[in-house]
Amino acid sequence: MHLRTMILANVLMGRNHQIPIALESFCRRFLAKEPALKRLEMTKQDKVLFPTMVSRSNALKLNNWISKRKRTAGIMAPPDLESFFDKIDEGEDWESTVPKLVLNQLGLQAYHQGGTRPPAPVSRPRESPAPSPAAADAGTVGSNARSRLNNTKFDPIFQRFKELSGISCSDLRKKIAAEKIPALPVSKVDGGPMCLAWHVRAECNQVCGRKCDHVEYASTEYTDLLTWCDANFKRE
């Protein structure tokens, strides 16, 4: 769908227009990450809606950009279609829900949440006077409590970072995005960044964009991550 849109945009607007450039950049990145994207799990709707979700999200972004372009004189930043990949790499919630009305229009009403998709099992969150640093990173507070995942193969070499309060993995990911600290070491699974919360805090969640990295590592495979933590996993 995106490739066809890019070709049409090239014909109508020319290759140097911001929309064809943004679409071409998105398509290149999508194709490069396609194996990892196929391993992502969706928790809000059926996985079969993944292409529909991505296409609809980008269509809305392009429509909003065109509307702003009509009202704005001078230079304007191109449409941001790649924040989707950034959310996945940074372990943020990347899912958007396709409304029932849209599914009905596409003939996909059977895949609406609560339709053919079985309800997710509900487990009671642990009761604790205050969430631990690891629990905060894993999203155990509020609506994400049911999606918590525990790393039963946690390596105790990270114990001191697991117990360190006043700093979260989310804070560190924001510093990485702002280029204040180096990027995380790459995963042995797909070459993307390792999941910091899973390996260092022993807990993560079902909507993690790096869930494919929730696998067992040998202590010898943690050398780079341990070095990274020694240098960067600290309070300011």
Are the CB atoms for 9 and 20 separated by under 8 Å? yes
Residue 121: predicted pLDDT: 52
* Residue pLDDT, tens place only, 187-214: 888 888 899 999 999 998 888 888 888 9
Predicted model pTM: 0.45
Which value, in Å, is the radius of gyration of the alpha carbons in the chain?
A: 20
pLDDT given for residue 224 in this prediction: 92
DSSP 8-state code for residue 141: S
Q: What is the mean pLDDT of residues 132-157?
A: 66
The CA distance from 54 to 56, in Å, is 6
% of the chain residues with pLDDT over 70: 78
Taking alpha carbons only, the member of 53, 41, 18 closest to residue 207 is 41
Q: What is the DSSP letter of 52?
A: H
pLDDT mean over 73-81: 81
Q: What is the pLDDT of residue 110?
A: 74
Chain segment 85-135, per-residue pLDDT in tens: 888 887 888 888 888 887 777 777 776 654 444 444 555 555 555 455 555
User: pLDDT digit string (tens) for 6-26?
Assistant: 566 665 667 678 788 888 888
Alpha carbon distances (Å) from 164 to 14, 137, 152, 234: 53, 12, 19, 8
